[in-house]
Structure 1
């Protein structure tokens, strides 16, 4: 496929609505709190999980699909907000999510003639190709009789739950489908916790954020338009390589907060600075990310429990010979200031929306995912996924990050960039690891 082709659409075989069991589900209403509100106008989050599952079309439709539907019904009994709706009544005290009996999750079954082995590789692939697997992609194409594998596409509104919440849902569904019941969810601590009162709000952040949202102009993410003119590639880094990167930084900046997250993000941040050109060596660049702020409660929390972390440096410093070390140091210090703040992780949170609004127009990149997330652990009964991809990063300058499938303690970095930029990062990636 050339860089200018529109992605081949999938044939939609069925669209249906999956409801939680009406005999166990009851109406549920919970407030949207300050952790959730910043994500109101964030673009939808998309995840793809590819499973190596050769089978015929009749076998999939007659045997596998009914079990997936039934297990999804059972799983949704514990994840009611995912089937509900976000309500934004501007004349009330604040927004809330509500599940009513009869609400459902949309499930689309589609078939694509894309090359399964090509899509599940780590080599550069045209980003457009993956949208045949993203939910709600319209269109039809030629159908092969036999399947090479299955791709699960997930799209969710970020305000209803962060990555930790959605990963928990994906693993819960996998568990129910594999074992045929939901009893194991409690043992594995996959059952979510909905009580918002566990999160204190002494500074009145709910009211502050909601008033800002009501006064601000709604800016929603533009729809994806093809061609994207980008390639998607996965870079795998082993546990030993991560440790060597950390040692490399600690030798030059002893005593700094250096983790797997900081060094992997630093490699990408530094590369972006070397690509960007500017006449000012003092122009700033920032990779905003989010830190886990989940309180100690029983079970998981289906919501956003994130604190914003902003690291800044200058173009001149980041493109220099010690740019990688500088980037890692800046990210580590930003995390240290927020996560380990003696006054608490929410110190200064009332200013977060305004501070990040000031970053619009600057050279930014974000991080989707975490070294803690292991989606390759989601087993629906067919073994581990063959590949994870995050289409969400196509729309901005983010990178995806997750645990490696094949290397214990390793990580996968996902990038979607123009071809020249991607090739340049591959060279920098190899160069940096070669110095270790």
Structure 2
């Protein structure tokens, strides 16, 4: 806690029937293990203020207990096994019912309008509305796999949370939030379907996967050299339904006779990529990357259930030179992203996983370099129905991303509150942001008002 946010209480909420017989052991795939040293994702929902007789904290905690009974992996812990015979370690999720952390905080001097600042500005104090900063997925060995912070404000409530990315992804997390909200608003968990775990493991690979001890060790904290890294700032950009439609039409018109059909998300991602790199100060011969988080559930064979629980995402880059990206137009850039997404086939997934097992890597590199400024990372999705999460006193009025993995160029996409619109929370170096806000070509399809 810090700034205007004061911690009232911290507790552990366990599943409703934590004494259930039998414990589930969830093996981790290469897609999970590659996230071992990446920061836990953090998200938050801003709500209006409930009536005084709603009993906010007690209702949220009791319904969370019921929701964890269904989504039992969130109540488990990351477990590590030392394999002395080959000097390796293995990890799995132990669904032991230990529980999730629940923080109750107050920020009575702050109002909803302090968070929803003009022009999409994201105030620095908002980091205190989230339960962690700098917590990595590997910390699941000692920390809960899920933590929630409920902060009561002058005229609203902010519900912030983190989740361990090795046990779940955005699809699973938002489904959990929706289940929890329905239980809280109705007062009952009856009618909720049992959890369907992902069932995707490579044939011929022995689980648990053995990782060299040296690769699994947590990297040292950042050196003093990072004090010279430019300061980043968050800003929310809003794209109306018309903004998105215009970008999609422009991109498709530029690919001409190609048989590719550029999607709205690909056109928007390409617009952000080109606009940010245009002000990055990189040389034309230098490489630039657009990393996209792809849901693999329907891309493996046989396909998995669309809503199965677990982590089934893969971060993959489209790479080109700065000169080519800026010189060949929006349609060409969007086509590179489209080809990238289309290439994520069952064969591609198997090849990545088999290679990863043979050559364990990516454990210490995180999502990108803080210093290069050559990468745009597109995460989350405007397809997540974040505004349906009504816990019983009203729907959210805004959604925000919390601290973590804060490289310049990180883009967290959400649906806008108006149907068909997008909100993009961008983390950018301050000088890049200043230039972007003065870029007429960029602002033609984007507004900073939210």
Into which bin does the TM-score normalised by the smaller protein fall?
Answer: 0.7 to 0.9
Instruction: Choose the corresponding residue for 2:286, options 283, 289, 292.
Output: 283
Q: Deviations over 1:225-280 (max 9, x none)?
A: 9x99544322221233222211211111132241122112112211221112234x
1:19 aligns with 2:14: yes
Would the alpha carbon gap of residues 376 and 248 (structure 1) be closer, same or farther in structure 2, given more than 3 Å must change?
same
Q: SS of 1:247's equivalent?
A: helix
Is the contact between residue 175 and residue 184 of structure 1 (CA under 8 Å) also seen in structure 2? no
Match of 1:375 in 2: 386
Q: SS of 1:35's equivalent?
A: helix
Match of 1:169 in 2: 176
Match of 2:45 in 1: 49
- Once residues 204 and 117 of structure 1 are traced to their aligned partners in structure 2, the CA distance between those partners, rounded to angstroms, is 53
Match of 1:329 in 2: 335
- Once residues 267 and 50 of structure 2 are traced to their aligned partners in structure 1, the CA distance between those partners, rounded to angstroms, is 38
Q: List runs of 5+ in structure 1 lacking aligned partners.
A: 1-5, 138-143
Instruction: Choose the corresponding residue for 2:189, options 162, 174, 182.
Output: 182
Match of 2:5 in 1: 10
1:430 aligns with 2:431: no
1:421 aligns with 2:432: yes
Q: Deviations over 1:266-300 (max 9, x none)?
A: 12211221112234x22111122221111545583
- Once residues 263 and 443 of structure 2 are traced to their aligned partners in structure 1, the CA distance between those partners, rounded to angstroms, is 20
Please list, as runs of the form range in 1=range in 2, the aligned pairs for 1:84-233 lying within 5 A after superposition.
84-91=76-83, 94-101=90-97, 103-112=98-107, 113-121=109-117, 123-135=119-131, 147-186=154-193, 191-194=194-197, 198-202=199-203, 204=205, 210-211=210-211, 215=215, 218-219=218-219, 229-233=231-235
1:412 aligns with 2:423: yes
Please list, as runs of the form range in 1=range in 2, the aligned pairs for 1:310-325 lying within 5 A after superposition.
310-320=317-327, 322-325=328-331
Would the alpha carbon gap of residues 98 and 201 (structure 1) be closer, same or farther in structure 2, given more than 3 Å must change?
same
Is the contact between residue 24 and residue 77 of structure 1 (CA under 8 Å) also seen in structure 2? no
Q: Deviations over 1:54-113 (max 9, x none)?
A: 555xx56xx121111110110000111111100122317731111224x11110100112
Would the alpha carbon gap of residues 90 and 324 (structure 1) be closer, same or farther in structure 2, given more than 3 Å must change?
farther
- Once residues 344 and 278 of structure 1 are traced to their aligned partners in structure 2, the CA distance between those partners, rounded to angstroms, is 31
Is the contact between residue 369 and residue 400 of structure 1 (CA under 8 Å) also seen in structure 2? yes
- Once residues 165 and 270 of structure 2 are traced to their aligned partners in structure 1, the CA distance between those partners, rounded to angstroms, is 25
- Once residues 347 and 14 of structure 1 are traced to their aligned partners in structure 2, the CA distance between those partners, rounded to angstroms, is 47
- Once residues 203 and 244 of structure 1 are traced to their aligned partners in structure 2, the CA distance between those partners, rounded to angstroms, is 48
Give, in angstroms, the shift of residue 360 of structure 1.
Answer: 5.5
Give, in angstroms, the shift of residue 350 of structure 1.
Answer: 3.4
Match of 1:273 in 2: 277
What is the RMSD of the two structures over their aligned residues, measured on CA atoms? 3.4
Would the alpha carbon gap of residues 99 and 145 (structure 1) be closer, same or farther in structure 2, given more than 3 Å must change?
closer
Q: List runs of 5+ in structure 2 lacking aligned partners.
A: 134-150
Give, in angstroms, the shift of residue 152 of structure 1.
Answer: 0.4
Deviates more, 1:363-372 or 1:39-48: 363-372
Is the contact between residue 36 and residue 303 of structure 1 (CA under 8 Å) also seen in structure 2? no
- Once residues 35 and 325 of structure 2 are traced to their aligned partners in structure 1, the CA distance between those partners, rounded to angstroms, is 29
Match of 2:310 in 1: 303
Give, in angstroms, the shift of residue 51 of structure 1.
Answer: 0.3
Is the contact between residue 175 and residue 185 of structure 1 (CA under 8 Å) also seen in structure 2? no
TM-score (normalised: structure 1): 0.82
Match of 2:350 in 1: 346
- Once residues 368 and 251 of structure 1 are traced to their aligned partners in structure 2, the CA distance between those partners, rounded to angstroms, is 26
Deviates more, 1:369-378 or 1:198-207: 198-207
- Once residues 288 and 204 of structure 2 are traced to their aligned partners in structure 1, the CA distance between those partners, rounded to angstroms, is 30
Is the contact between residue 293 and residue 313 of structure 2 (CA under 8 Å) also seen in structure 1? yes
- Once residues 58 and 286 of structure 2 are traced to their aligned partners in structure 1, the CA distance between those partners, rounded to angstroms, is 56
Is the contact between residue 122 and residue 233 of structure 1 (CA under 8 Å) also seen in structure 2? no
- Once residues 145 and 243 of structure 1 are traced to their aligned partners in structure 2, the CA distance between those partners, rounded to angstroms, is 38
- Once residues 77 and 334 of structure 1 are traced to their aligned partners in structure 2, the CA distance between those partners, rounded to angstroms, is 38
Q: Deviations over 1:29-54 (max 9, x none)?
A: 22122221111111011111000115
Instruction: Choose the corresponding residue for 2:262, options 258, 263, 278.
Output: 258
Q: Deviations over 1:195-218 (max 9, x none)?
A: x5x2130363867x6436764653
Is the contact between residue 27 and residue 207 of structure 2 (CA under 8 Å) also seen in structure 1? no
- Once residues 389 and 228 of structure 1 are traced to their aligned partners in structure 2, the CA distance between those partners, rounded to angstroms, is 23
Would the alpha carbon gap of residues 429 and 382 (structure 1) be closer, same or farther in structure 2, given more than 3 Å must change?
farther
Would the alpha carbon gap of residues 276 and 232 (structure 1) be closer, same or farther in structure 2, given more than 3 Å must change?
closer
